[in-house]
Structure 1
Amino acid sequence: MWLVVGLGNPGPTYAHTRHNVGYMVVEELARRAHVALKSVPKMRADVAETRISAVGLGIPGPGAVRVALVRSHTYMNESGIAVGRLAAFYGVAPAEIVAVHDELDLDVGQLRLKKGGGDNGHNGLKSMRAHLHSGDFLRVRFGIGRPPGRQAPADFVLSSFPASQRDVVAVEVARAADAVETLLTDGLPAAQNRYNS
């Protein structure tokens, strides 16, 4: 069993902001699997269950494993509430959780996959670490770049991508979804070799 968690903020105000790239990737994975993210109020999240095998996401095949795609109802700084509840419900360990999140230290168009590490000032990761009592989950780090000039990082991540970057972001959302699929089927080293940029 895997939990794939897209970090972001709920509601239309935040839907297209840099901080919500995790939501975008989980929504793309749900689209590929032909499943709908449905509200589970007790878990404070939208969840879609599917399976993944060597044949693909949402396609039954030999060695298929269950996957829960997750988009929390909480704001970013409380993301761990939903993740902790779902991890307990499904009985998954941190090593079976993939967090997809925005990363200031990577330029737009860059992805990095890794296991464990600190939160690097990211409130969603900080909340996950607190509620899981561990940082040993997998991360798909989606580059959003640094704010220009003296713009505060908090304002930057809550702003939308400029029109000039939207095509690149759409490609990166698809590539990040591909990276998640590879991670689940082939393991972290293979996914790192293919997608880390």
Structure 2
Amino acid sequence: MLILTGLGNPGARYAGNRHNVGFMAVDEIARRWGFGPERSRFSALAREGSIDTAGGPVKALILKPQTYYNESGQAVGAAMKFYKVKPADVVVFYDEIDLAPGRFRMKTGGGAAGNNGVRSITAHIGPDFRRARLGTGHPGHKDRVQGHVLSDFHKVEQGWLADLLRACADAAPLLAAGEDEKYQAEVMRLAPAEKADPRKAAREAD
């Protein structure tokens, strides 16, 4: 079982926030691959399904923790224990302010880099899970970060956002097959985004 976890905050008021792009990504994967209906499990909203790969279908669980972003590890730990899987079977989709808008990067392990959701998951299952980081850009100063991540994507950002989410879903067979480097490359091929310093772009916008 592959556990595809999206990070975000529950409720309509947060639905369009940059901090909820992880929820958006796993929702698009579930839609693209015809996952079953959402159910409340593991202090989360969960959907079961499978993703077709060259080696056959891979069973997967979509997980959207409902404990609020900073306590996401509780749900991930519970699901991992239930399915008896390893951290390598857990992929976490989340917003990354240190990537330019629309950029995408995969990595396994490492620190939390100030992301409290990642820190919570690490506290529950250790650091060796797979991270799918979706670039949302930086507001330019650390004092603006909270307001930035808890604000909605602007109308002008909807185009690249939709392209990125669709690419994450369309390329999912590579992710399900464990081909993280190829998955990253395919997502960026399907939804190309300019490589840039996210802080510089914010400063130039001021």
Q: Does the pair score TM above 0.5?
A: yes
Paired residues for 1:161-180 under 5 Å: 161-180=153-172
Give the alignment partner of residue 192 of structure 1, picking from 181, 184, 204: 184
Count of aligned pairs: 189
Partners of 2:94 and 2:134 within 8 A in 1:
yes
1:37–1:144 Cα change, 3 Å? farther
Counterparts of 2:19 and 2:171, CA distance in 1: 19
CA contact (8 A) 1:103 1:144 kept: yes
SS in 1 for 2:177: helix
Deviation at 1:104, TM superposition (A): 0.4
Deviations 1:107-159 (A, max 9, x none): 11100011111111011100000011x11111110000001567520111000
* Residue in 1 that maps onto 2:200: none
- Segments of structure 2 that go 5 or more residues without pairing to the other structure are 189-194, 196-206
Q: Assess if the C-alpha contact under 8 Å between 2:106 and 2:181 holds in 1.
A: no
Residue 144 of structure 1 pairs with residue 136 of structure 2: yes
What's 1:58 paired with? Answer: none
Residue correspondence of structure 1 range 1-197 to structure 2 within 5 A: 1-41=1-41, 43-54=42-53, 63-132=56-125, 134-148=126-140, 152-185=144-177, 187-195=179-187
Q: What CA distance in whole angstroms lies between the structure 2 residues aligned with 1:91 and 1:177?
A: 25
Counterpart-to-counterpart distance in 1, 2:142 and 2:183: 35
Q: State the alpha-carbon separation in 2 of the partners of residues 82 and 153 from structure 1.
A: 25
Superposition CA RMSD, Å: 1.8
- For 1:150 and 1:120, locate their aligned partners in 2 and report how far apart those are by CA, in whole Å: 13
Indicate the SS of the match to 2:51: strand
2:37 and 2:121 mapped to 1: Cα distance?
Answer: 21
Distance in 2 (CA, whole Å) between partners of 1:4 and 1:156 is: 25
In the alignment, the residues of structure 2 paired with residue 146 and residue 125 of structure 1 have an alpha-carbon distance, to the nearest angstrom, of 18
Structure 1 residues 180 and 138: alpha-carbon distance in aligned structure 2, compared to 1, 3 A threshold? farther
Would the aligned equivalents of 1:52 and 1:185 in 2 still touch at CA under 8 Å? no
Q: Which amino acid aligns with 2:14?
A: Y
Residue aligned with 1:108, SS: coil
8 A contact 2:8–2:69 mirrored in 1: yes
User: Structure 1 180/136 Cα, relative in aligned 2: closer, same or farther at 3 Å?
Assistant: farther
What letter matches 1:45 in structure 2? A
Q: Compute the TM-score of the two structures, normalised by the length of structure 2.
A: 0.85
Q: 1:186: Cα distance to partner?
A: 5.3
Contact 1:79 1:127 in 2 (8 A): yes
Q: Which runs of 5+ in 1 are unaligned?
A: 56-61
Q: CA deviation at 1:167?
A: 1.3
